[in-house]
Structure 1
């Protein structure tokens, strides 16, 4: 059984990734997600079956290792809390049925936990993120979690459930109400609970395809109006950008594909221009002897500009595609050598990296910003520059490059405001008050970015028109639409009876088995919202069609209609 001891580091996503362990013990691994047995094939022995308990241990160790590797700072107390939470949650979530999106509850919980770990949240927040799925499964009560995990984690769970319920109380999601809601959240809720809720929203948006389109759009509009700007206000820009892009994809699918295809058109021989530049830069940095004396490790990450941000610049600023300069981006992250002068060495390494890049590409002087020498008011540090990567007479968009140390990156990605609240221990009222003032101001700025976005406050449906449609469906005139009346309408439309049951369950907010006039009115508002979004998407698509179908001699590769014909269904 010596080979089994090597399985401790196997990550929870074993079924999705090849596992490399020292030979000759492991040739391959078969992991049946819903099975209680994991079978290990050993070349020098017969197949060894690991029981459900063995599988849970593998999940426990793998998940713990994966999470702690992503967390830069972890005390012994935090380790114990996280391990205790995983021990409690894994057996429950493994035994739970699949979620509506087809994922196992354990996979869902750990996905949220990974997002929180990447944001450098502490063990309490990550544990609360995992336990939210346990609560949703109805397997444990708050009281039981308090007894086994502790009061602090239960407080975060309670706060996150309060945050979850806020948007559903709003009848109209117009700009004023959305702004008021964001202010309310920032003022009255634990910042960590807000970040937990944002991580849950991001995970949900990444797995939204199982829902009908109109539900995708309703949820996406809420995320675009409330959660994306809230993430921006909290300093978690990476969350904000991904939430915006995912919402954009569902709200305006045609426009999204136009922008996405144009961004991906910057390729050479099927290889992304980002990847070409990233590999070339990484090779040059690792070959530099001066830089090697200052740092232990170098990483270079690439990204295309956010689809939503690109669309805004093309539509609202009147820019031509070739004038959108920060379409391409690289981020250099330097890990300085440990020691008393690590901070100074890190800054020197950043400036040395700047010099190396200057030797590779033509720098655009007016785009260089040294936030290391002069940090932003919120403490943000990084060196920004833009370079021209055009070659062989072919014009390309400028490449934006950010240079920072691992510590600078941790603060930038995790959110400086949230980090400051942690450093203050959430016990300094003046510090918390000051930071929340900053966040409220940031929320106002975030609201301006979405000012022209569609609203659910439509006045096209008059009250008498709403009542007229409701009365037509309420055939017996008792003031409500019963399941029998809804089924009759479905049959008249040629739809199966189970569709009526699904629709009733979706719209019956008070679960009394029928639809009131108010419940039906909310449904009609959602229908009109979806119709308005489709009209807006058509308008955006026409403008983008004109802007992005550029001649090849402009240096941009054409976006061909064939691609959209293959990818879109009208």
Structure 2
């Protein structure tokens, strides 16, 4: 099975899990059209260019986006990088999808030249204003995410420019849209290319890998849910390991060492009332001893 075949299979499996057959057929049609349009084009990785739109569509399908968004993700580069016109897209896929593709194309042409905070904020507002539908932003975030994941194939100068732009523009946008996990991935991947030595040093200092930390978090969540059940408390609990960039910022701000950072893992508890919040805190402290000087 080729790389392309494997990507198509993954995309189809994803969309079939939540979209009707008619939508899946439209996605297949969009793939066939995009593959033909990008035929003969290659990425810097030497892979056929169609692998990029497919990866973008897979990311969108993992977010369980609507069919129009996924189709536009597959087609997002055909107007900019091939001879396809918007009129052709309207005829084949409808005005909404054609507008989404056109919107992404316009965003691709934006240039961010200043790092002054006020100007960066203006760029973010301009970015949002140019996207007439928030789904265009979603497609662009998926596009940027895959480009970041494959940034190793770009020249070093380009790597740093893309990473800086991602930290300044795309990570805050993901945060505004409530896409926390995407924001964290943007930040960690950008951190890796902007400050490679600091990234590696911090990565080496943290003994547990991210997967191990995630497994530890899941175990603690399970334990705490058991405690709350026994105490007949209705509490919504979630947890996550802190990502590397947030740890780096904390170390840099406090000018401290990794040994002085206590919150490499984070948990959030939501209860119905203030009384239940304090009751839940007491239940947790009955098993896990608080560090008094760190308790707020």
Superposition TM-score, scaled by structure 1 size: 0.42
Q: 1:186-201 maps to which residues of 2 (within 5 A)?
A: 186-189=128-131, 190-201=133-144
Q: Which residue of 2 aligns with 1:296?
A: none
Say which of 83, 99, 122 aligns to 2:28: 83
Say which of 178, 181, 201 aligns to 2:120: 178
Q: Which residue of 2 aligns with 1:245?
A: 188
Q: Which residue of 2 aligns with 1:325?
A: 262
Flag structure 2 segments of 5+ consecutive residues without an equivalent. 230-237, 274-279
Residues 1:373 and 2:275 are matched in the alignment? no
Say which of 8, 11, 16 aligns to 1:68: 16
The 1:323–1:386 alpha-carbon spacing in structure 2 relative to 1, beyond 3 Å, is farther
Distance 2:283 2:156 in 1: 39
Larger proportion of helix: 2
Distance 1:181 1:308 in 2: 23
In the alignment, is the contact (CA less than 8 A) between 1:97 and 1:105 conserved in 2?
A: yes
Shift of 1:279: 7.5
In the alignment, is the contact (CA less than 8 A) between 2:214 and 2:241 conserved in 1?
A: no
In the alignment, is the contact (CA less than 8 A) between 1:228 and 1:243 conserved in 2?
A: yes
Shift of 1:302: 8.2
In the alignment, is the contact (CA less than 8 A) between 1:369 and 1:385 conserved in 2?
A: no
The 1:281–1:314 alpha-carbon spacing in structure 2 relative to 1, beyond 3 Å, is closer
In the alignment, is the contact (CA less than 8 A) between 1:305 and 1:329 conserved in 2?
A: yes
- Secondary structure in structure 2 of the residue aligned to 1:369: strand
Shift of 1:127: 0.8
Larger proportion of strand: 1
Residues 1:162 and 2:106 are matched in the alignment? yes
Q: Which residue of 2 aligns with 1:277?
A: 216
The 1:135–1:124 alpha-carbon spacing in structure 2 relative to 1, beyond 3 Å, is same
The 1:243–1:387 alpha-carbon spacing in structure 2 relative to 1, beyond 3 Å, is farther
Q: CA RMSD in A?
A: 3.9
Distance 1:230 1:129 in 2: 18
The 1:59–1:216 alpha-carbon spacing in structure 2 relative to 1, beyond 3 Å, is closer
Shift of 1:144: 1.7
Flag structure 1 segments of 5+ consecutive residues without an equivalent. 1-30, 35-54, 291-300, 331-367, 375-382, 399-570
Q: 1:142-161 maps to which residues of 2 (within 5 A)?
A: 142-161=86-105
Shift of 1:387: 7.1
Q: State the structure with more CA Rg.
A: 1
- Secondary structure in structure 1 of the residue aligned to 2:76: helix
Shift of 1:316: 0.6
The 1:223–1:303 alpha-carbon spacing in structure 2 relative to 1, beyond 3 Å, is same
The 1:225–1:278 alpha-carbon spacing in structure 2 relative to 1, beyond 3 Å, is closer
Distance 1:317 1:222 in 2: 25
Say which of 286, 305, 309 aligns to 2:242: 305
Say which of 203, 206, 222 aligns to 2:149: 206
Distance 1:137 1:243 in 2: 25
Shift of 1:236: 1.4
